[in-house]
Structures are given as C-alpha cells and as structure tokens.
C-alpha cells in the first residue's frame, strides 16, 4: 500500500484525458477515487532530519534521549525539523 494525493491524481487525469470531455470511464474512475477509504496518517520526521540528532564519527546520536540512532529511525519526540545547512 502507498499513500497518494487523490486530488493531484484527479487533476493529472483531467489533463491527460481532456478536461472538457468527461466520459463514462473517467466518471467511474473519479467516483472510485472519491469513495476510496482515507488513511489517517501523520508525517514523521526521520532522525536524519531531526533537530535533536547529531552526526558522530560512526553513527548519529540523539541528544534528546542520549542514545545512538540511525538515519531512518523516527520517534514521537522529533518535533523540530532540522533547518537546511545544519549538521
């Protein structure tokens, strides 16, 4: 499973199929997209992008918890995204 932006998908289909000619297939497709279940997801900040993670010689270190972390890790306390250029 993957998350998609359904509104962007419909807009892209409008461009490719022609906005002024909504045929039966396009109508059914848009109806199915609108009726699809919505996933209640939250964006996570991975440790490699977290303000509290610092690069060490061999690994990353979380100064918030005081332990070793990996770049793809994440936690519920990663509330501050690292600004561009910070290391």
CA distance 13 to 76: 36
Whether 71 has a pLDDT exceeding 60, the answer reads yes
Q: Quote the pTM value.
A: 0.48
**pLDDT per position as a tens digit, 41-68:** 777 888 888 888 888 777 888 888 888 8
- Return the SS3 of 84: coil
Whether 79 has a pLDDT exceeding 70, the answer reads no
H helices, E strands: number in the chain: 2, 3
């Amino acid at each position: 499973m993957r998350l998609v932006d359904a509104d962007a998908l419909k807009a892209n289909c409008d461009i490719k199929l022609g906005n002024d000619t909504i045929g039966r297939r396009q109508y059914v497709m848009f109806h199915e997209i609108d009726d699809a279940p919505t996933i209640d997801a939250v964006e996570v900040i991975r440790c490699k992008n977290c303000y509290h993670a610092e690069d060490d010689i061999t690994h990353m270190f979380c100064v918030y918890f005081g332990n070793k972390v990996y770049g793809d890790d994440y936690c519920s306390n990663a509330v501050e995204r690292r600004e561009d250029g910070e290391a």
